[in-house]
Amino acid sequence: MDKEKLLQIYEKIEEYQKIIISVHKRPDGDCLGSAFGLKDIIKTTWPEKEVYAVGENVGYLSFLGPVDEIKDNVFKGALVISVDTASEDRIWDQRYSTGDMLIKIDHHIPVHNFGDIDYVDTGRPSCTLIIMDLFNLFNDKLKMSDIGAKALYTGTLTDTGRFKYTGVDGDTFRSVATLYDNGLSTKEVYSNLDVRTDQLTKYKGYFLQHYKKTENGVAYINILPRHVKKFKVSLGEASSLVNELGYFDDCPIWILFAEYEGKIVRARMRSKGPAIDKLANKYDGGGHRLACGANLGTWKRAKLLLKEADLLAKQYKEEL
């Protein structure tokens, strides 16, 4: 924890009357949880401030609340805070550049330093835990409601794989305890996250019947527009099944390839051991050592990435 830099962030939040919190494109639970959690902390502490969380609404996270829609002129004179975003091209609302000042708060392996203040802690398994670091460091000044506690818990829960992933430690659970102290009730969180539609259930059956494995143990599946159309699920819902490929004892790496609008191909990559972040960086992506994304563009590049991932899996097995 960099206390000096967190102090700088606290002082800027205290200084500005208007604050806009921005998420990354295709936000996940950690991203929206960080945004809504930070918004709640600021509004609960300083009710007179204008605070907005801008980005995309995500269906399965709708219980956290809607994002704000604001006009261009709102950015003038505002402090903009980017959460859970490694590179500036991934920021959802590109109007951030018209704000007065930009703060970056993130936990991914750095791709670009783009803020006037950059706070990156790769030791934290979720960005929500960095927001909690800020809250706990200034707990004599900052306040939080049960709404913020719910958002921060949701982000922590989803980005740690329900506390299973690397990076979870005692500080993780001490932060969660603080959320309970601030009104957290987990019933609504689990009642929303532990449900699945008939359509997604049927698609999961298709998913588990059509994955493939490379020679050296990379499990993968290709998601095409016709698949999601047939089962009446969204691409986001289909992609959420990525960790269904992580149960095989002979597969240290697994990848979900998905084709988006305009025939743009992206990948979600996961690993049980081999570091895959450098491979993701090579293909215009990034993330964590064991969990990354890649912007491939074409299926041809997807095949190249898969070939390199297979080689990485082979090297890993040989070293065991």
Name the band, by pLDDT with cuts 50, 70 and 90, for residue 165.
confident
- Per residue in 289-318, pLDDT (tens digit) is 899 899 999 999 999 999 999 999 999 999
Q: Is the pLDDT at 107 greater than 90, yes or no?
A: yes
Domain boundaries in the chain? 3-193, 198-319
102: part of which helix (H) or strand (E)? strand 101-106
* pLDDT score recorded for residue 316: 96
pLDDT band at 181; cut points 50, 70, 90: very high
Strand order in the sheet with 79-83: 50-54, 18-22, 79-83, 101-106, 117-120
**The two three-digit tokens of residue 305, written as one number:** 């990435």
What tens digit of pLDDT does each residue of 11-64 get? 999 999 999 999 998 899 999 999 999 999 999 999 999 999 999 999 889 999
For 170, other C-beta atoms within 10 Å of its C-beta total: 7
Q: pLDDT at position 180, please?
A: 98
Q: Model confidence at 87, in pLDDT bands (50, 70, 90)? A: confident
Asked if residue 223 has pLDDT above 80, the reply is yes
Percent of the chain with pLDDT strictly greater than 70? 100
CA–chain centroid gap for 181, Å, is 25
**Is a pLDDT exceeding 90 seen at residue 109?**
no
> From CA 41, how far away is CA 151, in angstroms rounded?
11
C-alpha span between 157 and 25 (Å, rounded): 20
For 276, other C-beta atoms within 10 Å of its C-beta total: 26
Residue 269 has pLDDT above 80, yes or no: yes
- Report, at the CATH architecture level, how domain 3-193 is classified: Alpha-Beta Complex (3.90)
Fold of the domain spanning 198-319: Diaminopimelate Epimerase; Chain A, domain 1 (3.10.310)
Q: Identify the residue whose tokens are 């982000």.
A: 155
- Which of 54-63, 146-155, 272-281 is predicted most confidently? 146-155
Identify the sign of the CA torsion 22, 27, 32, 33. negative
Q: What is the DSSP string of 133-184?
A: HHHHHTTTT----HHHHHHHHHHHHHHTTTTTSTT--HHHHHHHHHHHHTT-
Q: Do residues 253 and 266 lie in contact, with contact meaning Cβ atoms separated by under 8 Å?
A: no
Please calculate the CA angle 60-65-66 and round it to the nearest 5 degrees.
95
Per-residue pLDDT at 231: 96
What's the pLDDT band for 126 if we cut at 50, 70, 90? Answer: very high
Q: What is the 3 state secondary structure string of 193-211?
A: HCCCCHHHHHHHHHHHHHC
pLDDT tens string 195-212: 889 999 999 999 999 999
Residue 112 has pLDDT above 80, yes or no: no
pLDDT of residue 111 exceeding 80, the answer is no
* C-alpha count within 13 angstroms, C-beta hemisphere, residue 213: 16
- Tokens at residue 246, please? 């992580």
One-letter amino acid for residue 296 of the chain:
L
Nearest alpha-carbon partner for 108 in 133, 83, 137, 91: 83
Tell me the pLDDT of the chain averaged across its residues.
Answer: 95
* Size of the chain, expressed as the number of residues it contains: 320
Four-CA torsion 24, 29, 31, 33, nearest 10 degrees: 140
Mean per-residue pLDDT for 80-109? Answer: 93
- Whether 287 has a pLDDT exceeding 90, the answer reads no
Q: Is pLDDT of 230 > 90? A: yes
Q: What is the pLDDT confidence band of residue 86, given thresholds at 50, 70 and 90? A: confident
Give the residue from 94, 103, 84 showing the smallest Cα distance to 31. 84
Buried b (16+ CB within 10 A) or exposed e, 204-238: beebeeebebbebbbbbbbbbeebbeebebebbbb
Whole-number pLDDT of residue 90: 86
- pLDDT of 286: 82
**Predicted local confidence at residue 228, as pLDDT:** 93
Cβ contact 42:138 at 8 Å? no
Residues 6 or more apart in contact with residue 132 via CB below 8 angstroms:
152, 156, 175, 178, 179
What per-residue confidence (pLDDT) applies to 196? 87
